[in-house]
Structures are given as C-alpha cells and as structure tokens.
Amino acid sequence: MSKAFIPTAARPGVITANDLREGHNVWMCEDGWTPDPAQATLYEDEAIAELALLKAIGQDNLVVGPYMVEARRGPNGPEPTHFREAFRQKGPSNYFHGIQTTKKSEAAHV
Amino acid sequence: MFDARPSDTDYVRHRVSQFRAQVARRLDGSLTEDEFRPLRLMNGVYLQLHAYMLRIAIPYGTLSPDQMRMLAYLAEHYDKGYGHWTTRTNMQFNWPKLVEIPDMLDHLASVNLHAIQTSGNTIRNTTTDAFAGAAADEITDPRPYAELIRKWSTDHAEFQFLPRKFKIAISGGKRDRALVPAHDIGLRIVEKDGQRGFEVWVGGGLGRTPMLGSVIRDFLPEQDLLPYLEAIIATYNLTGRRDNKYKARIKITVSERGLDVFKADVEDDFKFRRLEFHGVDQEALAEFRERFAAPAFRNAAVDGFEAERAANPAFRSWTDTNLHPHKIDGYASVIVTFKAPGATPGDASAEQMRLLAELAEKYGHDDIRVSHDQNVVLPHVHKADLPALYLALREAGLATANAGKTSDIIACPGMDYCTLATARSIPIAQEIAEHFRAVGLEDEIGKLNIRISGCINACGHHHLGHIGILGLDRAGVENYQITLGGDGYDIPAIGQRAGAGFPAEEVVPAIDRLLRAYLEIREDENERFIDAYRRLGPAPFKAVLYPETVDA
C-alpha cells in the first residue's frame, strides 16, 4: 500500500486518516473530516490533491497519519479500489464492529 | 545493573501519570504525532487499521483472578466486550480511545499490570511454559527467573533503544514448550553436576528471515544469568545493524558476524559485567522463589473423575485432549482453548474472563496462565474437580476438546485489525476449523499444529506450524502461501514453502487435500502429520496440493 499515491483524473484518490482522540477512520471532506467514506472528497487533480494533503498534514491536532489513496467514483460516493481500504471502510470481518455498524446502506444487507 | 525498586506499583503509577500528561500535551497541540508516537509506543499504544490498540503485558503469561477480572472490566468499559490473547501471551484491546487509555492504565496499575515495553525496540515480555510450576517433566519452575528478567529489563536504561525489539523465552521442562530456539535469547533450565543453570540460545526468530537460534553457552551457572544476558544484549546493542530495519534483529547480527565472533565479544563483555553484580539479583531471585512457591495441593479421591470419564464420552474426549500431566498425583493442568468452531482464535469475552477468574478461585488455586498458542491454562486442578469444571466451561462455550488439534489454530489478527497485515488470517482460521469439524475428521487427524500469519512478520508463527499459512497481497488480491514441516516443539524446524500461493477460497480445499492424503499414507494413527512429513518428505504432500502440476 503506497502512501505516495498521486491522483489523476483516470485514477482519482481520497485522503484518509485516523481521528486523533478516538482512533476511528476518517476521510477528508469539504468541511473537514467525516467518518463516512462516501462523503469523502474525490481528488482528480494532482496539484489540488497535493494542497489538500498538505492541509490534512497540517491538521495534526485532529487526525493521525493522513495519506492519499486511490478510490473510484461510485454511485453513492468514492469507493475503495484495494481490499485494505475496503476493510478500513467496513470494519473487521469477524464481528459486526466498526464503521459497518453506522453505515445504514451496508448494515441493511449484512 | 539490577535495580530493585521499592514498589512496582509506585513505578507503574508514575509511568501512567507521565503518559496521561503526554496524552494531554498531544491533544492540546504541544506534541506533534512524530513526537508523541514513540511515547505512546513505550506504553503499548499502537494505531491499527480501525482504531488504537492497547497491548497489555502479562508477565510470563501468569494472571491472578483479580487481574483477569480487571481485564474483563476494561473489555466491557473501554472496548467492545472482549480482548485478544497474543502469541506473546499478552492481551490486546482492539478498540480503545486514546483519550481513555490513561484511565485504562490506571485501572491496570491497581492490579499491578501495565503496558510498558510491549512495543518499541526494547526487551519485551519474557515468555515461558504455560505449565510452569505444574508440569510433570519440569526441572524447576522457570517463573522466578522470568520475574528476575522482567524486573531487570523493565526501564533498563542501557536497553531502551536497541537496534530492534528483543524477545526472551525461558523453559523449565524436559520438553521445550516455550519455543526457545525461535527467540532472540532462549533459555533452557538444565542441571550439570548437581548445579542448576541454563543452556543459552541466541539468534532465533521468525519474521521475514526465519532462523532457529544457536547455543551460545551450553551451561551457564544460575548466578550468572543477568550479567550474561546483559553481555549478549550489550554486544548486540553495539554491533547490531541500525542501517536497515529488516536486518536489525540479533539473528542477523549473529549470522552475519558468525556465532564464534559474536560469542567472543559477549564473553569479553561478560567478564566485566559479572563484576558489577554483587548479589542483589540473587537475593531478589530467592524472594521470587518464595513468591512462586507451589500452592497447598490437596489429597482427594479421583473415583468421581474416573466414573465420569466412563459415563460421559464428551468429558472423556475433553480430558483426553485438554489435560496436561501434573507433577502432583491426582492433579492435572487444564487447557481452555479459545478455538471453538467459528470463534476468533484467542478472543476472550468479558464473561469468559470472569468465569475463568471464578473457576481459578474455586478449582485452580487462584492461578491462571496465558499460553503462546492463544489459549488459557488452569495449571493446578485436582482431578476430583474436573467434572464440575468441565460443566462450567461447557456452559460458557469453553470446553471444546481440541487442544493441539486441527482447529486449535494460532492466528494473528491479520488484516481484520492490523495495519501491517497484507491479508486476513481470522476468516481462514475460522473456515479451516469449521470445515474439519463439519467433515468430522478432526479426531482422526489427531495432533496437528496449523499456524496462520497475515503478513511476513509472522506473529501467527506460521513457520512453526506443521502446516503454516502466510497471507499476502498478490496484485490487490489476498493470497495464501502454504509452508510444510515446521515445528515449535520436539524437533524445532522452520516450515518450507510448498509452492505457489492459493486464493482465499482455495485454502480450505488445499488443506483438505493435504490432510486426506496424510490419512491415506500415514503408517498408523500414532504417526502425526509432522511425523509422516518427516518420514516421506514434501513430495507426496506437494503432489496433492498441486495436482495439476503433477498431471501436466
């Protein structure tokens, strides 16, 4: 999993990190950070993405370890392209814990 | 130099208050994450795939009922109702909030537990035989030595920034049940000419470069233990590689420099170290021996036990599988596996932890052990109490008769939790356990060690599995390599890769082919999988793993 992913229009990306105080996964969105990956801002332009990542890194008092990672445009928002990010967006497979408990769309068919 | 502190608890509480202040400074922006990370790691706080993780040291795997109850309390109040036994006999909580971790550590301090040196390039929790102090084949209880090592290594100023993490194991049995050759330093208690001492192993380890250690001293007198350990670790501290994280463990130092060269440096250093130890360590050891004195064993008839065995096949099966021979007549050590079909290997609910605390008080002389295979042992149970104990365990789903069998799988948390993982481990373990339970072959297969790691770092000890499974990321898809022939016990061996990896859905069919072939070709039911593998070599097993290659 490369943390130096640079998004393009063909291969867009999102910025993700962990919440400093509680540790859960968060994604950068228009007005800050969201625990809902579907709300994440999808970056398709290298320069804009770079600025956004710098901004994320500057929010060290809110989040831990922000990085840019590939995502694809989906009907309900950005979707993961790699299984690691898919697990981060869902939660563990052995228990119904983590993000899956708060995402209505996925909870409905679990 | 050994530093006997007036009170462990004062020290632990001091460390908690330090950490509480560090967390506050991190939250108010005084500390950046780069500054804070080493501080949190020193206190066992990792950031994992979904959340923070707190790793709590369980010294040499020994817990009192009160300590077990505290872990249950933390699981309920600060986590999601469960904890996870690790292969270093620690407990991990997968969902703590950073802001609450100082409170968790305060609670732990009240029962003299902590998370110090469960991370970082320091000397980690010393592990030992889960049957220490109980095993019939034991020379002496290794835990007083393990406690001496713990006291000496905790906050040891010289060894806080080693080239890499450092793991020590000590075994007191004639059979090694502590994976001595797979440790940075391994100690086997031996006797020579009526004197007690240690066979000292160095340079073992798993991970990306698995190696079994070598014997650096075949007999080290007991009183030289700490100065000799210091000499080894000081030599490693100075000569271990710091330029490359992947070559920084002592196994690489010893193999690159050569055992003889390394040993010469150690022996030179040892001459001087030894002069600095004036006996305070031996006084402490004498005190620890008293602390670990055997409980007041009792005499009782075992007729009820034998009658229940005769009357109840499920009880007989459990006693055949989940008991270990005890040094005292009428007693047994009980293995409580956390590997029920469908369960996550090593996960314990708060209710299960409380029940074990209660049962340890009622039937087990207040003693509980965590084993490196992610199970819990009640080391001292009189056989007269086993029927009642079994019933209580069964009601809690803790009486699965599978210790040492196919479904008693070691599995790391894998990509369900771990940020280093390259694939998941838990679902593979669950599927294998469920499959062999469903097809009813587990009893026929008998003793078998399956070990699963979700990345090359090998927390699941896959190299030591008779069958090892290593989860990898192959072009964005989970893929599993199978290794064969590993052994962590009688004839230590590193498993060898059988061939190309399998997609997740093909792992269970592959293991099924492997074990059905074993049942066909074994000499008799006493020949374990590993014995058949040693007798026949890998060829017949590879042939069933990769039938298309053979056909072609």
Residue A21 touches partner B, C-beta closer than 8 Å? yes
Phi, psi of B138 (to 5 degrees): -85, 140
Collect all residues of chain A within an 8 Å Cβ-Cβ radius of residue B84.
none
Residue-wise pLDDT tens digits, A26-63: 999 999 999 999 999 999 999 999 999 999 999 999 99
Residue A103 touches partner B, C-beta closer than 8 Å? no
A105 to chain B, closest Cα gap in Å? 19
Mean pLDDT of B61-68: 97
Rounded CA gap, B148 and B199, in Å? 17
Burial of B344 (0-12, 13-18, 19+ CB in 10 A): buried
HSE-up of residue A46 (Cα within 13 Å, Cβ side): 5
Q: State the best of B35, B39, B50, B92 to mutate against chain A, taking most chain A CBs within 10 Å.
A: B50
Of B98, B415, B473, the CB nearest to A23: B98
Collect all residues of chain A within an 8 Å Cβ-Cβ radius of residue B473.
83-84
Backbone CA torsion sign across B300, B305, B306, B311: positive
Q: Quote ipTM for the complex.
A: 0.92
Residue whose structure tokens are 């599988």: B321
B185 membership: H or E segment, kind and range = strand B185-192
Cα dist from B384 to B240, B302, B380, whole Å: 53, 5, 12
pLDDT at residue A1, as a whole number: 45
Residue-wise pLDDT tens digits, B180-233: 999 999 999 999 999 999 999 999 999 999 999 999 999 999 999 999 999 999
For A100, which residue in chain B has the nearest alpha carbon? B50
Residue B51 touches partner A, C-beta closer than 8 Å? yes
pLDDT at residue A103, as a whole number: 67
Q: Which is higher by pLDDT, B123 or A1?
A: B123
B97 to chain A, closest Cα gap in Å? 4
Residue whose structure tokens are 């199970």: B375
Checking B311-320 for CB contacts under 8 A at 24+ apart, the result is B312/B387, B314/B401, B315/B386, B315/B387, B315/B390, B317/B401, B317/B443, B318/B390, B318/B399, B318/B401, B319/B386, B319/B390, B320/B401
Of B49, B344, B473, the CB nearest to A94: B344
Inter-chain CB proximity B47 and A18 less than 8 Å: yes
In the DSSP assignment, the letter for residue A17 is E
Domain ranges of chain A: 13-108
> Is-contact B130 B61, C-beta < 8 A?
yes
Would the pTM count as exceeding 0.90? yes
Phi, psi of A70 (to 5 degrees): -60, 145
- Percent of chain B scored above 90 by pLDDT? 96
**Residue A108 clears pLDDT 80, i.e. is over it:** no
B453 membership: H or E segment, kind and range = strand B450-453
The rounded Cα B178 to chain-centroid distance in angstroms is: 8
For B97, which residue in chain A has the nearest alpha carbon? A22
Mean pLDDT of A5-25: 97
Of B29, B52, B417, the CB nearest to A92: B417
Residue A104 touches partner B, C-beta closer than 8 Å? no
pLDDT at residue A4, as a whole number: 80
**First vs last Cα of chain A: how many Å apart?**
27
Q: Give B356-388 as a DSSP string.
A: HHHHHHHHSTT-EEE-TTS-EEEEEEEGGGHHH
Contacts with B, A 35-64, CB within 8 Å: 60-61, 64
Collect all residues of chain B within an 8 Å Cβ-Cβ radius of residue A101.
none
B290: which 2 tokens? 């008293």
Checking B26-29 for CB contacts under 8 A at 24+ apart, the result is B26/A20, B26/B98, B27/A20, B27/A21, B27/A61, B27/B98, B27/B99, B29/A60, B29/A61
B547 membership: H or E segment, kind and range = helix B547-551
Mean pLDDT of chain B: 96
> Is-contact B345 B394, C-beta < 8 A?
no
Residue B428 touches partner A, C-beta closer than 8 Å? no
Mean pLDDT of B476-482: 97
HSE-up of residue B221 (Cα within 13 Å, Cβ side): 8
Residue-wise pLDDT tens digits, B245-291: 999 999 999 999 999 999 999 999 999 999 999 999 999 999 999 99
Of B33, B96, B426, the CB nearest to A64: B33
